[in-house]
Amino acid sequence: MFDETTYTDRRNKLKEEMVSGLVLLPGNNESPMNYPSNTYHFRQDSSFLYFFGIDKPGLAGIIDVDSGEEILFGDDIDLNALIWMGPQPTVKMLGKAAGVKETRSFSELEKVVKNAIEKGRAIHFLPPYRAENSILLEQITGIPHNMVSEKVSTELIKTVVKLRSVKEPGEIIEIEKAVNVAFEMHTTAMRMAMPGTYEREIAGCIEGISLSHGSPVSFPVILTINGQTLHNHYHGNLLREGRMMVTDAGHETSMCYASDITRSVPVGGKFSQRQKEIYEIVLSALEKATSLTRSGIPNRDIHLEAAAVIAAGLKDLGLMKGDVREAVQQGAHAMFFPHGLGHMMGLDVHDMEGLGEDYVGYDEEIKRAEVFGLKGLRLGRRLREGFVLTIEPGLYFIPALIDKWKEEGKFSSFINYDKVESYKDFGGIRIEDDVVVTEEGCRVLGKGIPKKISEIEEFMRR
Ligand code: GLY
Ligand code: MN
């Protein structure tokens, strides 16, 4: 946890931003895998962590915007639980660490909320994403669980997004720690990317590296020789020469701050000419995007500049044709680059995505596009100093998508389908860094993980 003033200040800012009412922030509970006491790794709710910092199940927080009162609800464990779990801090101690003076038993929560409702006061809550919390909200507010999503507080969502989007110096230190663990994970994966090794051996090893630093990966590891499937979690293939291995993986620190890094390397450590050519295009797109990233620029514009680099590179190889800007404007490049350039990152790897992607990545000025490709961009709005985001261009040959567009004759004035046919066995390449936006530009976080072709070949040479 940060020190208590961090959480007190954040709650004070929340109170200043909100007009009136009660802010209700339920924490998460243990989640059973296959019977009640056999649970998944406990993961606290990120907004609860942001305002209270306590990484324990069975808690909820109330912040009264009008009176300024703050209450932490939870129950101390009994002797039986202590025998199995060992001594645990009391709710009072947890509250003190978060700067909250008043604590009450969990059953009091319902009374406090119902009392406020009876007085006609607004109860502000965020979109629940776990069934237990939808049921809790039904129990304490009387709103049927299948309707709570419609009753979430837009005012609270917007305020939380505003506060969480700009990272404090202490948060950037945490994120950078997570990137430095990712350095170890990715450099290990590179060393292991040799023919005859199974993907799962490498995936298991890098997940273990994350755990050896005290906490799990920030999202399920993507590690595959079939990088044309963007989120490929199948790890059963045997590595063979001629394929690129895409590793998209990150660590979550003990305070739950994420990293999200992608590297693509040739199995065996030596790029073929064809792999080099495609890789250089993606790397140029990453470099271009990184050079443009600074406070005040819409991330949508950076995405389109990266897309133009990709389209120009593909044109040089004869895979695309025609006017590059026009091709990007119409979305022809999206057959090769169907996803967005990046997303916010912090306490969630896709930061605050559960609050609603458009609240996080778009605003009154910049709305999400409808066109395939650009539609997938999670962060389009103007960047601000202190934002932490990923920059992750990619280039993929997705046989099913190629076949469909070819059959439809889609963008045939921009795509050279005959040439693309010969790349259907290529796979995909993605390169991803994590950056913090500064006044003048951006800073790539963490120790440099080999990225240039010469660096990767040198690193993988045995
Ligand atoms: N690291 C996976 C993603 O950003 O979607
Ligand atoms: Mn990412």
Are residues 243 and 300 both part of a single domain?
yes
Indicate whether residue 348 lines ligand 1 (CB < 6 A): no
By the 10 Å C-beta count (0-12 exposed, 13-18 middle, 19+ buried), 68 is classed as: exposed
23 pLDDT tier (thresholds 50, 70, 90): very high
pLDDT tens-digit map of 197-246: 999 999 999 999 999 999 999 999 999 999 999 999 999 999 999 999 99
| Single residue among 127, 143, 164 that ends a domain in this structure | 164
391 pLDDT tier (thresholds 50, 70, 90): very high
Atom of ligand 1 nearest to the CA of 339: 5
Q: What is the reported pTM?
A: 0.97
Q: 453 CA distance to ligand 1 centroid (A)?
A: 23
What's the mean per-residue pLDDT of the chain? 98
Neighbour count for residue 93 (Cβ, 10 Å): 12
Are residues 111 and 181 both part of a single domain?
no
By the 10 Å C-beta count (0-12 exposed, 13-18 middle, 19+ buried), 227 is classed as: buried
Ligand nearest to the CA of 389: 2
Atom of ligand 1 nearest to the CA of 342: 4
Indicate whether residue 305 lines ligand 1 (CB < 6 A): no
Evaluate if residue 439 carries a pLDDT over 90. Answer: no
The greatest distance separating any two alpha carbons of the chain, rounded to the nearest whole angstrom, comes to 74
The runs of H, that is alpha helices, within 1-130 are 4-17, 46-52, 79-85, 91-97, 108-118
CATH of the domain at 244: 3.90.230.10
Ligand nearest to the CA of 219: 1
Are residues 111 and 180 both part of a single domain?
no
Looking at the chain, the number of H-run helices and the number of E-run strands are 16, 15
Ligand nearest to the CA of 391: 2
Are residues 106 and 185 both part of a single domain?
no
Evaluate if residue 462 carries a pLDDT over 80. Answer: no
Cα–Cα–Cα angle for 357, 175, 337, rounded to 5 degrees: 45
Are residues 428 and 368 both part of a single domain?
yes
d(CA 91, CA 103): 7
* 349: containing domain: 169-461
Atom of ligand 1 nearest to the CA of 262: 1
Indicate whether residue 248 lines ligand 1 (CB < 6 A): yes
pLDDT tens-digit map of 98-153: 999 999 999 999 999 999 999 999 999 999 999 999 999 999 999 999 999 999 99
Neighbour count for residue 163 (Cβ, 10 Å): 17
Count of domains for the chain: 2
437 close to 293: Cβ distance less than 8 angstroms: yes
**What's the average model confidence in pLDDT over 317-327?**
98
CATH of the domain at 42: 3.40.350.10
Neighbour count for residue 135 (Cβ, 10 Å): 13
pLDDT at 127: 98
